[in-house]
Structure 1
Amino acid sequence: MYTTLTLPTVIKTTRQFKSAYLKREVELEIFSPENLFGNERVNLLLLNDGQDLAQMDMENMLSELYEKWKIEPTVVIGIKAGNDRVLEYGVAGKPDFKKRGSKAQAYTDFVIKELLPYVQSEVDVTINGRRAFAGFSLGGLTAFDITWNNDNYFDAVGVFSGSFWWRKKDLGAGYTDDDRILHQMIRDTKTNPAVKFWLMTGTNDELADRNHNFIIDSIDDTIDVVKELMKKGYKRPHDIFYYEMVGGKHEVATWAKAMPAFLTWAFAK
């Protein structure tokens, strides 16, 4: 247990580096724990859409969780999206019906081959604990895809209002639920990645209800992800945590309210 003298201090820095895979400069917001003894376990969280972390007040959020002894020291890396967000985010190698996500493989290569080595070499503390990847909306879909296919690098994934609708056919082109790309990816994977899952939606995430079952699509799609995971043998709540926020919307303010619950789930002391 921390004492008031040994609470981690959150230090925020901004870094930029040129990605060969994305062919652009990537801006990062890094929240590092300082004032450590040196023998602590230090975790890592990568967050897509890092441009939203200022609105979430991530620096104070982490400080409050440390003060309440809720989480272990954790390095948080906010990856700011570029102008090609809807091309870089998605399921790698499987663009949707509008060809969005055509650069998702390049984004995966950036995360695995450039960003993770950069973090290990540039962050002052040694990351020796759990590693998680999380994101919001389309960034959450991307985090799931990368974590699912790279469980040798990540232990957990957090998806806030994930774009699990990601599909290969438009609704007016003979679409069925079997056209959802990520659900099919889960079914087609032969082995079970060693990953734990934290998924959330808000009851006011959207209004769309394509199957007219009086449940909005974002909830339907997320619950169907949970069902696919359970078919493969993952268990609730040990492997899967699903959080449905009453009144939650598809917006940063909702995700900010949910973030402490995710951080505590992923990095509890």
Structure 2
Amino acid sequence: MMLVRADVGGDGWWREVERQGAPWVEAGPSGQCAVTFLWRDPQGNERASPIRRVWINISGVTDHHSDTGPQSLERIAGTDVWFWHTSLGERWRGSYCFIPCRDDGDVGRLSAAAPGDRAGLRAAWRGVFPAAVADRLNPLRAWTNGRGHAVSALHMPLAPAQAAWRELDALGPVAGRTVPPLPAPAALARHRWRSERLGNSRDIWIFTTGRQHESGRPLALLLDGQFWARQMPVWSPLLHMTAAGALPEAVYVLIDAVDSRRRGDELTCNPQFWRAVREELLPRVAAWAPYRASPATTVVAGQSYGGLSALYACLNWPRYFGCVLSQSGSFWWPDRDAAQNGSGDACRLLGQIERGLGDGLALRAFIEAGDRERLIHRVNDRAVELLRGQGHQVDYRVVDGGHDALCWRGGLLDGLAALWSPRG
């Protein structure tokens, strides 16, 4: 009703919107929610502002490969108000951003991408992403995603609980002002690892959540460590879960990916990377923060390529890494197109599972995929089927979401709790 009020777009109306926050979420039919997104044009109405489109990009909802076309918010004539309505499942969770564009080449390229030209559409999206902004009306903390632009968080009412993240979420933008992040805890140390085998250097974060029984603490290796250290700091949630008794005192090692090129090389079933971790890094970790060196409690956790690498490490070196936490694992690697077309030979790691990797040892796995990820969802289904057929213990969860850290952060904590719980 607020969008049809006579004072829509006025200062008093906007003050009320800022107090209420956005997006607006209302109950809809058949397990759906009606969602309204709002954006305020900082340059005023259509006569004063050069903005002609405000594209919306929603993780797992916006299809960058389809010829259905992008979606733009709509301006209320004579005002600085842009809005867009959609429907989302009541268990959905994901991130989103706005992309305001002037009436220039960027608008034209994205609006006029030829039907069926998936490469052209993806290129057009890449062209407009540098203009992406987070939602200033959203009271939750925004962050920078893997593409390097700001995104905001949206949780439907029945999305799986993420109580441990509430403290970090509460540090969100308030009326456009971003509150500084939580300070790093005393139990956090950053080290520089120079690998002779890999010929490169990277940051390593070591985080401990207790010192009562140092030699008995389990170890978790978190790939893409720079994300969990900087963009989505995991310290407070880990402490919250430990204090609640959901996680044991533990040692967490966050391994920086260095850059996208080396990430694509090292996290795609690369034996040299894991030999370097095993032979060079882990002895140093033991000196920095003593832990229990047992495959039964050593977790390798990763997302996307990291999820692929985590399972690869545990299958090939199960006497060191016995617990895998894989989220949205890119098990289609190395040939996405062939895997999309149903070629089993395209998925190299799935073939390795079929051949019985693991030295006859039963791994413990927590695997998660989003039901909006299509190909990843399908290859994760197949990976779980094969792993269970080989006798591995697998906890598999499919969530209503996409390829999104907002989903992964909850599954990361749930997976650690499941993998470190007593075996049934």
TM bucket, shorter chain: 0.7 to 0.9
Give the 3-state SS of the residue equivalent to 2:338 in structure 1.
Answer: coil
Alpha-carbon distance in 2 for matches of 1:232, 1:173? 25
Alpha-carbon displacement from aligned partner over 1:210-260 (angstroms, at most 9, x marks no partner): xxxxxx1111100100111122233xxxx10001111x2212221112122
Structure-1 residue corresponding to 2:208: 32
Q: Does 1:257 align with 2:410?
A: yes
Shift of residue 128, structure 1, vs aligned partner = 5.2
Equivalent residue in structure 2 for 1:49, among 220, 224, 227: 224
Maintained 8 Å contact 1:178/1:184: yes
Maintained 8 Å contact 1:199/1:242: yes
| TM-score between the two structures when normalised by the length of structure 2 | 0.51
Alpha-carbon distance in 1 for matches of 2:377, 2:274? 26
Partner AA of 1:262 in structure 2: G
Give the 3-state SS of the residue equivalent to 1:163 in structure 2.
Answer: coil
Q: Which runs of 5+ in 2 are unaligned?
A: 1-184
Q: Quick check: 219-228 or 50-59, which moved more? A: 50-59
Alpha-carbon displacement from aligned partner over 1:125-171 (angstroms, at most 9, x marks no partner): 34356111110100110111011111111220000110011135843
Structure-2 residue corresponding to 1:95: none
Shift of residue 31, structure 1, vs aligned partner = 0.8
Structure-2 residue corresponding to 1:189: 356
Structure-2 residue corresponding to 1:116: 282
Task: Return the structure number with greater relative CO, CA threshold 8 A, min gap 6.
Answer: 1
Structure-2 residue corresponding to 1:148: 315
Distance verdict in 2 for CA 1:39–1:89, change over 3 Å: closer
Q: Superposition RMSD on alpha carbons, in Å? A: 2.3
Partner AA of 1:242 in structure 2: Y
Structure-1 residue corresponding to 2:398: 244
Q: How does 1:8-27 map to 2 (within 5 A)?
A: 11-27=187-203
Q: Does 1:70 align with 2:246?
A: yes
Maintained 8 Å contact 2:251/2:291: no
Alpha-carbon distance in 2 for matches of 1:86, 1:11? 31
Q: How does 1:158-169 map to 2 (within 5 A)?
A: 158-167=325-334
Larger Rg: 2
Maintained 8 Å contact 1:141/1:162: yes
Alpha-carbon distance in 2 for matches of 1:174, 1:160? 22
Q: Which runs of 5+ in 1 are unaligned?
A: 1-8, 92-103, 206-215
Q: How does 1:90-129 map to 2 (within 5 A)?
A: 90-91=268-269, 104-123=270-289, 125-127=290-292
Alpha-carbon distance in 2 for matches of 1:161, 1:173? 15
Aligned residues with identical type, % of pairs = 24
Partner AA of 2:288 in structure 1: E
Alpha-carbon distance in 2 for matches of 1:16, 1:126? 20
Equivalent residue in structure 1 for 2:304, among 123, 126, 137: 137
Give the 3-state SS of the residue equivalent to 1:142 in structure 2.
Answer: helix
Distance verdict in 2 for CA 1:192–1:171, change over 3 Å: same
Question: What is the number of equivalent residue pairs in this alignment?
Answer: 232
